[in-house]
Structure 1
Amino acid sequence: MKSLIIANGSMDDYDFYESIINSYDCIICADGASNHAYNMNINPDIIIGDLDSISDKVKKYFIDKNIEFNKFPSKKDKTDTEICIDYAIDIGSKEIDFIGVLGSRMDHSLANINLLYSLLKKGIKSRIINENNEIYMTDNKIQITGKKGDIVSVIPIHSDALGVTLKGLEYPLEDYDLEFGISLGISNVLVDDKCEISIKSGCVLVIKARD
């Protein structure tokens, strides 16, 4: 099962998001993200959270549509997005994509990016998508598809990434140790329609930029 979690972060180009919505088995809204869903004329399968950010008009609209609500207390140990992840896993999701998880609140943005790590450790494929980026995380091997000229950055997280090999990029690497905190992996370029990133030890963010 492939699920989409919509959070209440920045979403400026609704046409872009509407173009990808139909590829999911389950659409899960985190609280105020239901306002985004309403604006895109999308009916989520469930709305989860403390429901303090959803407008009264939108809440009534989805109640009338018989959309399921799962209300949690406002004081809790997990963000609404993380609670949505728990639900997605419980229903058997093997792939989880996120939209609306980046925005002006850097603490929320960083926390949401780090959620990719917890999913990686659970063996669940995940990525963050917005109008300008696709964000992945790997501690082993990943293939990124796109078009020639797309920008791909490989960024070590937590610690050094050892034995990094990059294929299909303008600046390849072979069994190279990427030091944490160094910008060597930024702004590489696809030379064809796909590339492959592999590492022997550590973990990296892989970001394909649209601009």
Structure 2
Amino acid sequence: MKVMIVSGGTPPSETLLVQYKEKVDFIVAADKGGEYLLKYNVIPDLLIGDFDSMSKEILEKLKKVTKEILEFPPEKDYTDTEIAIMESIKRGGKKIYLLGATGTRIDHTLGNIGLLLSYKKKGISLEIIDNNNRMYLAKNRIVLNGKQGENVSFHALSNTVKNFKIAGAKYNIPQGKDISLLDPAAICNEFLETPISIEYDEGEVLILHSFD
């Protein structure tokens, strides 16, 4: 099952929200994410959180229309976003899109990027999408499609990514090289007329498409 989770970071645009709404079978609002959904008349299947960042008026409106509500205390072991992921998995979620998961709170943004890594190890595919970016983790060999001139970056999310290669991009690494954690050596690449292929022997690679 495909799931869209909307969290309380920078609000997604209506265009982005509608685009991903059409891709999924189940919609979860994590706390203030419910406010963003309500603004565009999108009703979540599940509303979760401690609701400390949402006005009582909006919360009452959501409670009248949302199918299921789970409320948690503010002092808890997981963020609202991770609880939303766990509840999505309980309901059969295998592919999960996270919107509203980036923003001015860099601690939350980094934490959410960390969730990509945690849940990949559990066999769950997560993507973080905002109005300017799409982020997900690579497989050891993967082919990427994009429009000519579109930006794409690669970041190591492990101590070392061994023998990392890029082919078909504006800037290639045909012989392979080791890249270290968050090494900027493979950022700001571009698509040409053909797909980009990457491969590596071991490690974890974050792929980031940018649409500025």
Verify same fold: TM over 0.5.
yes
CA-CA distance at 1:126 after TM superposition: 1.4
Match of 2:25 in 1: 25
Unaligned regions of 5+ residues in structure 2, if any? none
- 1:116-149 superposed Cα distances (whole Å, 9 cap, x missing partner): 0011111221110011100111352333322111
Residue pair 1:138, 1:204 contacting (<8 A) in 2 also? yes
Amino acid at match of 1:160: T
Aligned residues: 211
CA-CA distance at 1:62 after TM superposition: 2.1
1:14-93 aligned at under 5 Å gives the runs 14-93=14-93
Match of 1:142 in 2: 142
Match of 1:192 in 2: 193
Match of 1:179 in 2: 180
3-state SS of 1:23 partner = coil
TM-score by length of 1: 0.93
Task: Quote the Cα distance in structure 1 between the aligned partners of 2:16 and 2:91.
Answer: 27
User: Does residue 10 in structure 1 map to residue 4 in structure 2?
Assistant: no
3-state SS of 1:208 partner = strand
Task: Quote the Cα distance in structure 2 between the aligned partners of 1:32 and 1:205.
Answer: 27
Unaligned regions of 5+ residues in structure 1, if any? none
Match of 1:201 in 2: 202
CA-CA distance at 1:15 after TM superposition: 2.8
Task: Quote the Cα distance in structure 1 between the aligned partners of 2:142 and 2:51.
Answer: 36
TM-score by length of 2: 0.92
Task: Quote the Cα distance in structure 2 between the aligned partners of 1:6 and 1:181.
Answer: 27
- 1:165-201 superposed Cα distances (whole Å, 9 cap, x missing partner): 2232111223322233432101011113632222211
Task: Quote the Cα distance in structure 1 between the aligned partners of 2:23 and 2:182.
Answer: 36
Residue pair 1:139, 1:200 contacting (<8 A) in 2 also? no
CA-CA distance at 1:17 after TM superposition: 2.3
Residue pair 1:4, 1:96 contacting (<8 A) in 2 also? yes
* Aligned alpha-carbon RMSD (Å): 1.6
1:129-168 aligned at under 5 Å gives the runs 129-138=129-138, 140-168=140-168
3-state SS of 2:119 partner = helix
Task: Quote the Cα distance in structure 1 between the aligned partners of 2:66 and 2:192.
Answer: 48
| Distance change in 2, residues 1:113/1:170 (3 Å) | same
CA-CA distance at 1:12 after TM superposition: 5.5
Residue pair 2:6, 2:29 contacting (<8 A) in 1 also? yes
